[in-house]
Structure 1
Amino acid sequence: MQTIYLAGPEVFLPNAEEIGENKKSLCKKYGFIGLFPLDKVITPQKTPIETALAISEGNELLVERSDIVLANLTPFRGTSADAGTIYELGLGRGLRKQLAAYSNTTTPFLERVWRDYGQGSIEQAPKGDIRDRLNHKIEEFGLIDNLMLEGGIHLANGLFLAGDVNNAYLYSDLSVFEALLKKLAEQAL
C-alpha cells in the first residue's frame, strides 16, 4: 500500500485529531495509508524553539517516508495556502514524490488578493498589469494559488482539484479531498 502524507492546516484546528483520523480513514477506503502530521510523538524540549524544530524534523521525516504528498491548499490565515503546507509540498517535489493537492474554494488567487489588497473596482484595473494598493503586481493566470504551487504539481504530473464547499466547513469538509483520493486510486490501477 502506498503512503500519503496529509499536508494541510488542519493541525491548527480545535478538532485536528478527529479530522486527521477521518482523512486517514478515507485513505484506507481508497487503498492508501494516511500519515497525518500529528502521527508522531514529540516530547517537549527545553525551549519552545527546540520543540518547534523537533516538530519540523518529525514532519519532514513523515514526508520522506511517504510515497505521495497530498496537500490541502485551501487559503489559510490570508489569501494563500498555509506556509507550512507549501513547504511540505515543495519538499515532496524536491524529493520527487508523487504530488496531489486540493482546495475547498475555486475563487482564483487574483480575486482573493484583490479583495484583500486591491483598491477600487477590479474591472477598472488594467488587464495584464493589475497591481495592489502598494503597486505590487498580482498574478493574472486564473490559478487557485501562486503559480509555483500549481506549476510544481503539474510539472510533477500530479493531480490538483478545487471545489466550492460551504464556508462554515471550509477546513472540515472532505468532499474534494475524497474526490482527489478516488482519482489517485484510479490512477494507481
Structure 2
Amino acid sequence: MSLPRLYLAGPEVFRPDAVAEGARLKALCAEHGLVGVYPLDPARPGVAVEGADEIRANCIALIHQCEAVVANISPFRGPHMDPGTAWELGYATARGLPVFLWSGDRRAMVERIVPGPAAGRDAQDHLIEDFGHPENLMIVPPGARVFTSPEDAIAAAGHHLHREVAPLRVRREARRGVLVAFVVAMAVALALGAIVNRVVGW
C-alpha cells in the first residue's frame, strides 16, 4: 500500500534555501511514514513547471494528490500569513482534506497589528479582529489547534492519517483488488468458454 501524502503549504518556497527547506520538511514527513509533497515538486515527474499559469495549476494538482495539508501560517510580509497559502488552505478545506496549522508567532491578532488612535482599531480605523486567534477566524476557526513548529504539525498529521485515512485506503485497495480479480476471472472464463465451444463445434 502506498504511503499517505501530505501537502506542505507555506511561504518556504520564497526562501533563498527553498529547495533545501523543502527537502528537510519532506524528510520530517518520511520519519512519520508519510510522503511529503512540496509546492516546488512537479505534479507529473520529469515535467518542468514554468510561468504563473503552470505554477498555479501544478500546486492545485499536487493538492489533489494528497490526503492532508500542513500549512505554515506564520506572519509573512506583514501581520498576516502568506495569501497563497491561505488560498491553498481554503481549497483543501473545500475538498474535505484535514489541515494542520503551525506558526512561529502565535500571538493574537490584536497583539500583532499596530493599533490606531481608536481602541480596537488600526491606523486606518478598521476593526481589529479580537477572537484570541493568531490569524483570521476563517483560517483558524474556533477550537482549531495551531502548532508551534512544522515538526509538531507533521507529527499530528501523521498520527491522524495513519489512524483515520490508512485503514480506509486499505479497504479501498482491497475492494479494488477483489474487483480486478473478478474481472480477470470473468475474462479467463469467457476465454475458456470460447475455446470449449470451438473444440466442441469442431
Q: What is the correspondence of 1:41-56 to structure 2 with a 5 Å cutoff?
A: 41-44=47-50, 51-56=51-56
Distance in 2 of aligned mates of 1:43 and 1:21: 18
Tell me the residue number matched to 1:75.
75
Q: What is the correspondence of 1:1-189 to structure 2 with a 5 Å cutoff?
A: 1-40=3-42, 41-44=47-50, 51-114=51-114, 118-119=115-116, 126=119, 130-151=120-141, 160-163=145-148, 176-187=149-160, 188-189=162-163
Task: Note the alpha carbon deviations across 1:137-179, whole angstroms, 9 max, x for none.
Answer: 1101110011110118x5xxxx63243xxxxxxxxxxxx1111
Relative to structure 1, the CA distance from residue 162 to residue 179 in structure 2 (aligned partners, 3 Å threshold; closer, same or farther) is: closer
Matched residue SS, 2:145: strand
What is the TM-score of this pair, normalised by structure 2?
A: 0.72
Aligned length: 156
Distance in 2 of aligned mates of 1:160 and 1:70: 12
The residue identity in structure 1 corresponding to 2:155 is: K
Higher helix residue share: 2
Q: How far off its partner does 1:110 sit?
A: 1.5
Checking the alignment, whether the CA contact within 8 Å between 2:25 and 2:36 is kept in structure 1 is: yes
The residue identity in structure 2 corresponding to 1:178 is: E
Structure 1: state its 5+ residue gaps: 45-50, 164-175
Distance in 1 of aligned mates of 2:116 and 2:129: 16
* Greater radius of gyration (CA): 2
Structure 2: state its 5+ residue gaps: 164-202
Distance in 1 of aligned mates of 2:48 and 2:83: 21
* CA RMSD, Structure 1 to Structure 2 (Å): 1.7
Distance in 2 of aligned mates of 1:108 and 1:42: 40
Q: How far off its partner does 1:133 sit?
A: 1.9
Distance in 1 of aligned mates of 2:63 and 2:159: 23
Matched residue SS, 1:150: coil
**Identical counterparts, % of pairs:** 33
Distance in 2 of aligned mates of 1:147 and 1:16: 29
Checking the alignment, whether the CA contact within 8 Å between 1:42 and 1:55 is kept in structure 2 is: no
